[in-house]
Structure 1
């Protein structure tokens, strides 16, 4: 074969290869092409979306930094914010364990119980710094972590840049074990980009999500495109039905009629001191009121109403009111309603009565009598009016 024919053949084969590559990329992309964002503490407590068309969110739960696990305080609120916005929300972790297996397992043992996204959702390892000099050690660490993620009921993914993975990790082993599980970043520039440029696609086996920019909008935000539909993990039709059932169940619980539970306690409390309130079913919540030093407070009823537990209190100065003791949601939601309803004793005002005479007759001070009826001793009372005396 002469040189010109060989050169033509090489060019032809190269063109076929590039065409195959772009068809492969576009066929992957056609599976979903949903776009979304990823958040860390830099997107504040509620996160920031690029556009209304965003379908998914990855939010950082924390990670392993400098030899220790450091959780991000924005994680829980960002998950709630994304869920409220109707997005598919997933989790990622900064994976700075290098090739240390003990640290890798300890990291997963710490974070997996703290995942707030649904079972089946993605838990991605952000492995882009701190790799050891051993490709084998790094790869084994990642495999062990992904195995723990899967065993916990989540979908494992690996995030990084193509060059970093090629230098430090045997990705072919990981892809053989977990299929298309790579989330790769490759930016052509740092200009604002609202959609991916596939000319800069990080072509390698197993890519499921392409992070195509860190300037999804002016000011900076990562933009991602789902090539395979992997961000639908944990958000199947079945899980949506379950979520809808949970919402209906919660709504039904909120409509329930809650009882008033008897509770009496006296004592001297101090600023910011936690007071545990024990119900008849031995459940506990903590009060959120602030007391002044040395002030005596009497609780004479605990009222459970919708999302909050309230307690009626009487201060030593005779004034009374209600405070929130805590929320009633959680695994014991709806169970804090045992006990008997509190019954009040009423007195009907007669002609000639006064705050003083009624208070004396019932062993109360005028101030207490007036305050527990939402009035002051200067309020005029009338015959036929009912007052609470017990």
Structure 2
């Protein structure tokens, strides 16, 4: 998941207000307000969550509850109990696989029942994590209908609803209105703006490190109190100096100087995994020259990161066509190269993290190049592309 943000109440205006909201009174540092965890992180102890709170300023944890209509995260119950014992706000999320309204309702019922059994308290957020291939294959209108059905149904269990998705999908693949939504977009660039300030939360890194916890974590900055509302917690960090230092350290390798997008040479051949619009310009608002069906071979000569997407240029007999290959993180979401791959066969006990470490990869990159996310369940015997 492939996965938020509280503001200080100060009376400021104009640019000064925007700067304070964005920096959280901690220059050049996005805050580590919320962490999300799942089975990929393994067992997490109360001590680990307490360290996150005291040394890093974490306020809330959102745990994976379920996926699709059958998968229950085996660590959900222990995560919920240990987060609460550490005095942190607790929420949950469901990784959506639905493609129809009926499936969305069925998954909401499954998620709600699973959350109740795992001990997720009434009043917590139970977000729908919408980033699957099933959603990618649907129209914006269909995704909006399905998401609305899921969220309406989940509220019947006493939980508050929200949508988690990527910045490149928000208001393209589905509608994310102001004062709603948990948006993932990283790595980010210092631009002077407050990222997703009108949404509940912004997930800004998937590789954050915590002192006594193993591996990388998704962290978010909260832009509202939605993910902490309705729950009682007066526990605050015990080491404010460590919180500031650790937040600056977490940002060190994330912030990059703002630069103008530049074309780079890229002579590659891609095969489309799904239908993609070939556009007249490098923008999702540019007119479509054609809709290229799945299976089409596209030869490119240049690539560029622009407008939240990675674009490639296709030479044509009368000029050029442009298509978005995926989010600006350089993951190839819609296309695959024709190169020979090296595969790894999943063994019992493997996780995205262990396989990624074994092959020198970031686990988000590993999952993406296999057309999955780090919250997709993998099984012994599966073959994954590692090169």
TM norm structure 2: 0.47
Structure with greater Cα Rg: 1
Which of 1 and 2 has higher RCO (CA within 8 Å, sep 6+)? 2
Q: So what's the TM-score if we normalise by structure 1? A: 0.46
Greater helix fraction, Structure 1 or Structure 2: 1
